[in-house]
Structure 1
Amino acid sequence: MAAHDFTADNLEAAGALGGSPDPGYIRPEAPRTLAALEHWQDLKVGVIIHWGLYSAIGQGGSWSLHRERLGDFTDPPADFTGTDAEYHDWYYDQRRTFHGKEFDPQDWARSCAEAGMRYLVFTTKHHDGFAMYDTAYSNLKSTAEDSALGRDIFGETVEAFQGAGLETGAYFSKADWAHPGYWDRALPVTDRFHNFDIAERPRAWEQFVEFTHAQIDELLTRYGKMNVLWLDAGWVREPVEPIDIDRIADRARELQPDILVVDREVHGPHENYRTPEQTLPEDDPGHPWESCITMTRSWCSLERDDPAKPIEEILGNLLKIVSRGGNYLIGIGPDAEGRMSSSVRERLEEFGSWMQVCGEGIYGTRGASEVSGVAGGGLEWFHTRKDSTLYAFALLQDGPLTHGERSRADGDESAAVTLTLPAGAKTARLLGGEELAIRADADSNPTVMLAESPTAHAVGLAVEL
């Protein structure tokens, strides 16, 4: 099979990431927020679904409206000819033909639930300002008369996912390149920022801020319980683009007392957990965090049957993330017609099969970097902990174990590998398999012999300490 290029879009080059002063993580003080944060850390695996007007032109976000041409995802489609102003009009015109007729939220919910995902973050509005829900404050929405979608996409999706047992949250961009109080098209537009002097036109900016607050209120009052308000466009922040984030956060908790507010990349009291994008820290950073990483090359399928990353890479991300104390937010999304890529479906099924067996060592755990763990077998081990149980996981694509090779389980110890357990280990068992006989030696740590893995791609152990 030909190798695919999964290199992520360079959002940092486009100015989407970073730049905020960092006072260090500020832990919430409110008891309900702290409880919600602990609960969220137990969920461990979520899905972020991008789908919007940009999907109609085969892109994974609305960055082609961004006036700085940096190549690839920031540029219009290669066959477009015209000025930036003409492209702006053409882009929004796509709402008239973007029908997404194949989008079935029940199918997406069922597939994600069976994959073991516990929460959803859905893109209600990207930077282009096109609302994928029935907002009362703009006609640029999926339910508008001139929108071929003709559906409250967010409403349908939330209902389906909540019905499948997942918690739900709202992605919302604080920027809005369609609102005249952000981009006044009577003036030049040169980058991603607002394009007028707020000090000279305070009322225009105030109208944009009120519009933003009103739309967020809609999301938090019409669609049931939300576990997170996931705010994007971190450049929209005080002092240059003051959005009154204190009032947004206070109002969110007034409407949804157990919600987490994540003002992404704006380090401070309203970033309840941090969200590294398409990357993960080398070590446990010591605060709540979540890596959002795409399963395909971009945030949604750019073509029919867009290829997905290998399951070994996806499981590798999972094990690194949870062993370092984080959550894994897997990015997928429909293509222009609303279809789930067959590769994505296959990976979800593979991921779900593994989680069904090994999920006890993922859900409700915390990273275990502070304790000595399992070692040996020529494998790299990742550890989590829940009460007195230490879980150890290792990927197998380069390891000595073969999934389902029964000869190794029939007493042929020459085919097995020796693993060293932490001191004080009482029992050890394979996740999806049997208890392993512990060999004790007064002069060294206990060991077990491991002959095979009951699961493909990665093996898991549970060790009682």
Structure 2
Amino acid sequence: MRKSFGVLPLLVACMLMGKDVSAQQNEGVHEMSKDYQAPKDPLVIRKLSKWQDQRFGLFMHWGTYTLWEEVESWSICPVDWVVRKGPYSEDYNVYRAAYENLQHDFNPVDFNPEKWEKAAKAAGMKYVVFTTKHHDGFCMFDTKETDYKITSTNTPFSKNPRSNVTKEIFDAFRKDSFMIGAYFSKPDWHSQDYWWKYYPPADEHANYDVKKFPERWKRFNDYTYRQIEELMTGYGPIDILWLDGGWVRTNSKRNEILDMKGIVNMARTHQPGLIVVDRTVPGEFENYTTPEQSIPDKPLPYPWETCMTMGNSWTHTSRDEFKSSRTLVETLIKIVSRGGNLLLGVGPSAKGDWAPDVYKRMEDMGKWMDINGEGIHGSRPVAPYSEKNIYFTQSKDQHSLYAFYTSETDEVKLPAEVTFSVQDVKKVNKVTLLGSKAKLQWTLKDGQLTIRVPKNIQEKNGLKYSAAFKINV
């Protein structure tokens, strides 16, 4: 008979948070790869260019850990920054057994991917990346390789006709032309061929000597290959394979090496032009880089994407504190002005929905994007990139420049004159303020553009967070 640990009361669940916010943020800042290798496949190059045009995407971490509002996967990893609290914390083995037993209680009855897609589209998002499997090994798709999955009869939600949530999410977003990204963790802490029960785990790495047990590591390679092949063949067109767990890599000092060439060749056979993001592992399979929870200080000479949480956590937690809508808009502007994409992370709850604040932030961002999105989607960076509180982008055809005047308050207040540098511009044909019908006057002299703002729209212009001037050249 199965011993059920049940869903913990809210008070206990709050105690079980694996680490505090500051620890989580520090852990989440990953170093970027520095040696970028551009893809050579014309189909990949074409899709990568399309992906750069999207500029704004949705990232969702979801798994059984949401029952405890726990930091995704990491609480079962015996590393020194993890702090376990609650009734199972004194004994690691008891804690891990309780964690893995959460499968028996995971039943997100409020799951409605169409609701998410509608909100994401309204916010101006153009692509989605979903965690099909995080490091703990629990699969949010109908894999044949393990019973540790949402569609297992051990999981209550398996009785729901939409239990294969990865397929449901991808189908719902794809119907509205979102690009589709499958997050997949290379390490798998549930697999006996990664964390073998013969030895206790010591950290995030495989807990046995791969050189001494090559047949076990070979099984793990094959397991990983087959799971990725399932995702590449049973879930419709996939645009991005977003691989995490960079300590499993081709130059691993502990020989934790996957056959990446074989995996990627197989994946692209099924999904031609597939963008592969073997994050933090420099080489031919890191088609774009992924600074986490941070924004580069300047434009980078290769494709990149900041993955950042809307709140403080990748995981849904009732204690989360969300960034303000103005901060989120300014973050998007900064990233795009430096040539990057923003992949904004939110976590569905154990019941299968987002927090109300998530919907509110997306609504606010969407209203701003309705006015200013043309300077975001399909844009490219342009020197001088930024001056004080003004950030610049340009259209792909280079006929339009956009100057985003960021505000220190939610309601935008403009000065009588706005002056900034424009490089390599000989003539300005027209200047408009997006979201306003006001006629503007301007002067271009010695590389400086001065825009005179009519008094009636300096403080009462109806604009929020940031105003965008469009300069036709």
TM-score w.r.t. length of structure 2 = 0.87
| Aligned position for 2:4 | none
| Aligned position for 1:130 | 138
Q: What SS class does the counterpart of residue 67 from structure 1 fall into?
A: coil
| Aligned position for 2:93 | 85
Q: Which amino acid aligns with 2:359?
A: R
> 1:17·1:234 contact (CA, 8 Å) conserved in 2?
no
| Aligned position for 2:315 | 300
Task: After superposition, give the CA deviation of every residue in 1:102-155 in whole Å (9 maximum; x if it has no partner).
Answer: 221111111111111000000000000000010011000000001122111111
| Aligned position for 2:368 | 354
Q: Which amino acid aligns with 2:186?
A: K
Q: CA deviation at 1:419?
A: 3.2
| Aligned position for 1:438 | 441
Q: CA deviation at 1:258?
A: 1.9
Unaligned runs of 5+ in 1: 1-5, 403-407, 409-414
The CA distance in 1 between the partners of 2:205 and 2:239, in whole Å, is 29
| Aligned position for 2:277 | 262
Change (3 A) 1:23 1:312: closer
2:399 aligned with 1:384 = no
Change (3 A) 1:439 1:92: closer
The CA distance in 1 between the partners of 2:342 and 2:141, in whole Å, is 26
Change (3 A) 1:106 1:441: closer
> 1:431·1:461 contact (CA, 8 Å) conserved in 2?
yes
2:47 aligned with 1:36 = yes
Identity of aligned residues (%): 33
Task: After superposition, give the CA deviation of every residue in 1:276-323 in whole Å (9 maximum; x if it has no partner).
Answer: 00001000011100000000110132128x442101110111011000
> 1:228·1:261 contact (CA, 8 Å) conserved in 2?
yes
The CA distance in 1 between the partners of 2:108 and 2:444, in whole Å, is 64
| Aligned position for 2:242 | 230
| Aligned position for 2:14 | none
| Aligned position for 1:419 | 419
Q: Which amino acid aligns with 1:47?
A: L
Change (3 A) 1:394 1:294: same
The CA distance in 2 between the partners of 1:463 and 1:274, in whole Å, is 31
Change (3 A) 1:201 1:464: same
| Aligned position for 1:405 | none
> 2:196·2:207 contact (CA, 8 Å) conserved in 1?
yes
Unaligned runs of 5+ in 2: 1-19
Q: Which amino acid aligns with 1:168?
A: I
> 2:409·2:465 contact (CA, 8 Å) conserved in 1?
no
1:115 to 98, 110, 123: 123
The CA distance in 2 between the partners of 1:444 and 1:117, in whole Å, is 34
| Aligned position for 2:165 | 153
Superposition map of 1:394-413 within 5 A: 394-398=405-409, 401-402=412-413
Q: CA deviation at 1:200?
A: 1.5
> 2:52·2:303 contact (CA, 8 Å) conserved in 1?
yes
Q: CA deviation at 1:165?
A: 2.7
Change (3 A) 1:269 1:293: same
Q: Which amino acid aligns with 2:391?
A: F
Aligned residues: 438
Q: What SS class does the counterpart of residue 313 from structure 1 fall into?
A: helix
Q: Which amino acid aligns with 1:434?
A: K
Q: What SS class does the counterpart of residue 408 from structure 2 fall into?
A: coil
Change (3 A) 1:447 1:179: same
2:356 aligned with 1:342 = yes
Q: CA deviation at 1:255?
A: 1.0
The CA distance in 2 between the partners of 1:219 and 1:264, in whole Å, is 18
Q: CA deviation at 1:443?
A: 6.9
Q: What SS class does the counterpart of residue 59 from structure 1 fall into?
A: coil
Change (3 A) 1:444 1:77: closer
The CA distance in 2 between the partners of 1:335 and 1:24, in whole Å, is 38
2:378 aligned with 1:369 = no
Q: How large is the Cα RMSD of the aligned pairs?
A: 2.4
The CA distance in 2 between the partners of 1:254 and 1:262, in whole Å, is 17
| Greater mean alpha carbon deviation, residues 210-219 or residues 441-450 | 441-450
The CA distance in 2 between the partners of 1:314 and 1:170, in whole Å, is 24
Q: Which amino acid aligns with 2:433?
A: L
TM-score w.r.t. length of structure 1 = 0.89
| Aligned position for 2:297 | 282
> 1:113·1:165 contact (CA, 8 Å) conserved in 2?
no
Structure 1's consecutive aligned runs of 4 or more residues displaced over 6 angstroms after TM superposition are 441-444
Superposition map of 1:123-202 within 5 A: 123-150=131-158, 151-202=163-214
Q: CA deviation at 1:12?
A: 6.0
Q: CA deviation at 1:444?
A: 7.4
Change (3 A) 1:246 1:381: same
Q: CA deviation at 1:400?
A: 9.3
Q: CA deviation at 1:171?
A: 0.2
